Structure 1
Amino acid sequence: MKPEHKDIMKARKRNIRLTVAYDGTNYNGFQRQNPPAVAVQNILEDRLQKVFGDTVELAASGRTDAGVHARGQVVNFFTDGSIPVDRVPRAVNSILPPDIVVLEAAEADREFSARHSAVSKIYKYRILQGDIPDPFERNYSWNIRKELDVESMRACLELIKGEHDFSAFRAAGGPPVSPVRNIYEAALEVQQGGRIVELTFHANGFLYHMVRNIVGTLGNVGLGWKSVGDFKRIMDSLDRSQAGATAPAQGLFLDKVFYSKI
């Protein structure tokens, strides 16, 4: 929400919270963009305005990049619209494109902010391993065309658990915030008979491109280009230039946002 509009919006009667899923393939990220670029926020605000009958400015739990997907993005907005909250998902979904879906709607406390009230998030990243591509996975995974050393990758995930300075995995261009984050869970699961490697990251917050930079470095370990010891040295160096390339956007999913500690 634009700072100059905050007081105007908060004077409205209702604060609505939505949980939204979207396929990010065809969008220039979540955050509102100027034409001709189209973002998820552009589409969602436009359709919500039609349903609620007033201007909508969304606040979101996170601004996913172009090509990144969400299963559990959370947004909120203030409105004077009178539509009952239980009718909102069906009403909005009937005019949304099929790659954006409102899963849930609820009345929120006036002080609730999808962004500032969040206490932790889960991101998942999918890797398709093997030399045979899958046309149905091309927009939802990173195809690494060799078999990965998943046990070494798991060992690296153990190293990132807990509170650390993640400067080595922080991309330039993000907001000027502390690089210290607490990772509660970092796990690897092999699925679909070994074809899919799914990585899970649950933390109290993430830096700009942090997950994709960790995954890019894990990929180097999985391919045998770096060792577990190298990964530890990279992390301890606090130097982004020593880490691997940023993993492709299409493998990343914002899975869930928590608003109370678990």
Structure 2
Amino acid sequence: MSPNYDTWSKQDLIARLTDLEQRAKGGPHHPRPKRAISSGTGRPFHFKDHPVRKIAVKFCYSGWEYNGLAYQIDPTPLPTVEEVLFRAFAKARLVDAEAGLDGCGWERCGRTDVGVSAAGQVVSLWVRSALPVDSTKPPSEEPEPDVELASDLAPSTVELETIPDATPDTDSDLPSFDLDDDPPSNSSAPPPRTQELHYVSILNRLLPPTIRVLAWSPVSPDFSARHNCQHRHYKYFFTAHDLDTTLMQRAATTLVGEHDVRNLSKLDPTKQLTQFRRRIIKADIALVSSQQQQGKDDDAVYVLDLVGSAFLYHQVRHIMAVLFLVGAGLEHPSIVPTLMNVDGSERPLSQSDPPLPIVDRKPDYQMADALPLMLWECAFADSDVRWQTGDDHTGNGDGPDARIKGDLYHQLHAVHQRSLVHTTLEAHFLAATARYHPPPPQYFPFSKTGLTTSTIPPLANKEPPVLGVPLGGGTYRRGVRYIPILLRKRLDHVEVANARWRTGKGSRKVERVDAANNGTINDE
């Protein structure tokens, strides 16, 4: 029977519609039911009949192509990285699509937001294995999850959807890698395999070029990509235009150590955090490359290497926004330790400087652009992971997977070469424009121009000039007047913001969950 929707609240109806939309379009939690995928012998593929093992997978992706890393229940304008990656695992029959992310124990190392890229992201999960079950099965003390596997459904009910750039979903057009299907019933049992499936090449054949699997590692059953990570290394790229990188480095140095960084991140009340101390291991600004144009090298590319044990929401982008203000000369390098001086424990840059003011609430300022940010590395102990790419278990052999490994390098090298050509073309567009439109006056950095916010000369018509405060990635915040950070409006205390969420959206969320668990919200 259909539920009586006349008695449902608005929130319950919205939740129901969202759930139905997800079931209709398919996804890791609600795959679209279709016919069963069969093996080459014409029999359905039963995932539970195969051994599984836990592995870690290292991969890279172009953040500007996706709606962030994490899988989203609600529809998104662009697909997420996890959505596309999980579908590749499912299409290769490495995971059970019906069980979803939770069914394979999916864990990510570090979440990246819309526009942010990664060169060394890591996830851990249980996957199908070609090795004997006694050496790879999960711990027996864990109860079997109460989920209905695809093989337990009625015949001809499940089919994995294709993903962009994937091979056609037909029996004859499946990829040529070994799927380790059941042998025909009239044949003798084959000898146990001693080589694992070629996870890297299998996945890269199914993934779009903007996501590339680099390596995999066997891991212990209790390994967690999130909790076993020792530190994370972020890189933020920027040009030296309008910036004094020496001042930026002086400010960045104060980040090293353990500090309260609530004023250098975005408060997320949904997490109900009360601890904001994080440890930074390294904060260095270094030259990446220099592109001389018209006798100037203010377009030299620099990078902030930021290494820490853990990071708060949007922490790197907030740090870069403040460093840009320091580099432009709009803020003194002491602004960084000042923003971390929540309880009076921070010290000034030098003993001759006055004590730092206490800043227990975050001033309102805009964070830096997402495009130049990259998660470069997720570091683990050597005893936890042994990264490999092919059947030789070292990534350096010349086995059957060597051609795929070579192709992967050439693929990314070709992308890099094409990007260099684009950069050259854009530089010539700029040169052609400069012939008719001369560059505007340069006000920043104040350390080189000798100007201040009060001495910037007005325009010819006596109007104040429009200042472009750098935000990274070629973006600027434009205005005629700059307000120092410490004079800006302060946001709510953390305790106030957390309490407001608990009594507002948080309480409504709890009510919906309780109603669903108590059967108030019916399901078909």
**Superposition TM-score, scaled by structure 1 size:** 0.83
Work out whether residues 129 and 196 of structure 2, in 8 Å CA contact, stay in contact via their aligned partners in 1: no
**For 1:83-133, what per-residue CA distance to the aligned partner results, in whole angstroms no more than 9, with x for missing partners?**
664611111101100000000012211011111111211011011343xxx
Show the 5 A alignment for 1:16-35.
Answer: 16-34=55-73
The residue aligned with 1:70 is 118
Work out whether residues 15 and 76 of structure 1, in 8 Å CA contact, stay in contact via their aligned partners in 2: yes
- Runs of 4 or more, structure 1, over 6 Å off, are none
Query: CA separation of 1:53/1:81 partners in 2, compared to 1, >3 Å: closer, same or farther?
Result: farther
**More deviation in 14-23 or 236-245?**
236-245
Any unmatched runs of 5+ in structure 2?
1-27, 29-47, 131-178, 180-194, 291-298, 343-358, 383-524
- How far has the Cα of 1:53 moved from its partner? 5.2
The residue aligned with 1:191 is 288
The residue aligned with 1:236 is 341
Show the 5 A alignment for 1:96-135.
Answer: 96-130=207-241
Cα distance in 2 for partners of 1:177, 1:86 equals 44
**For 1:124-162, what per-residue CA distance to the aligned partner results, in whole angstroms no more than 9, with x for missing partners?**
1011343xxxxxxxxxxxxxxx2x111111111111101
- How far has the Cα of 1:77 moved from its partner? 1.0
**More deviation in 35-44 or 66-75?**
35-44
Partner-residue secondary structure (3-state), 2:330 = coil
Partner-residue secondary structure (3-state), 1:72 = strand
**Superposition TM-score, scaled by structure 2 size:** 0.43
The residue aligned with 1:49 is 90
Query: Does 2:368 align with 1:247?
Result: yes
Cα distance in 2 for partners of 1:223, 1:253 equals 23
For the aligned residues, what is the CA RMSD? Answer: 2.2
The residue aligned with 1:59 is 107
Cα distance in 2 for partners of 1:177, 1:210 equals 16
Q: Which of the two has greater strand per residue?
A: 1
Percent sequence identity is 29
Work out whether residues 220 and 244 of structure 1, in 8 Å CA contact, stay in contact via their aligned partners in 2: no
Query: CA separation of 1:202/1:27 partners in 2, compared to 1, >3 Å: closer, same or farther?
Result: same
The residue aligned with 1:5 is none
- How far has the Cα of 1:181 moved from its partner? 1.0
Residue 223 of structure 1, aligned match among 320, 328, 339: 328
Work out whether residues 169 and 243 of structure 1, in 8 Å CA contact, stay in contact via their aligned partners in 2: no
Cα distance in 2 for partners of 1:155, 1:244 equals 21
Cα distance in 2 for partners of 1:69, 1:167 equals 24
Any unmatched runs of 5+ in structure 1?
3-8, 131-145
- How far has the Cα of 1:241 moved from its partner? 3.1
- How far has the Cα of 1:35 moved from its partner? 5.9
Query: CA separation of 1:207/1:85 partners in 2, compared to 1, >3 Å: closer, same or farther?
Result: farther
The residue aligned with 2:256 is 161
Work out whether residues 76 and 114 of structure 1, in 8 Å CA contact, stay in contact via their aligned partners in 2: yes
Work out whether residues 30 and 66 of structure 1, in 8 Å CA contact, stay in contact via their aligned partners in 2: yes
